């Protein structure tokens, strides 16, 4: 089972609409395809999640974060579905 850490904006997006990648992530979790976690970046690392899913492009998709040697891959829900499932 893939461990996936969700940023708060992904949770909000999934609860706001039953369409789109954020909602689909929760559907996969219901089918026991993913194990979901949520809190902050340090928690994503401490839970040993393989992925951190976020819609926060300003803070997570910048050169400093993307070039950091993190143990977790950062992606949007749509990127995760397209590239890792």
The CATH number of 2-84 is 3.40.50
Q: What pLDDT shows up at residue 80?
A: 98
Q: What tens digit of pLDDT does each residue of 7-43 get?
A: 999 999 999 999 999 999 999 999 999 999 998 778 8
Average pLDDT across the chain, whole number: 94
What is the residue extent of each domain of the chain? 2-84
Q: What pLDDT shows up at residue 45?
A: 85
Residue 19 burial (10 A CB sphere; 0-12, 13-18, 19+): exposed
Mean pLDDT of 40-66: 91
Q: What is the pTM of this model?
A: 0.80
Q: What pLDDT shows up at residue 25?
A: 97
């Amino acid at each position: 089972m893939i461990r996936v850490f969700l940023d708060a904006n992904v949770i909000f997006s999934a609860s706001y609409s039953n369409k789109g990648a954020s909602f689909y992530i929760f559907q996969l979790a219901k089918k026991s395809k993913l194990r979901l976690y949520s809190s902050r970046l340090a928690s994503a690392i401490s839970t040993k999640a393989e992925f951190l899913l976020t819609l926060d492009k300003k803070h997570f998709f910048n050169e400093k974060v993307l070039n950091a040697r993190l143990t977790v891959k950062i992606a949007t829900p749509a990127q995760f579905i397209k590239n890792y499932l």
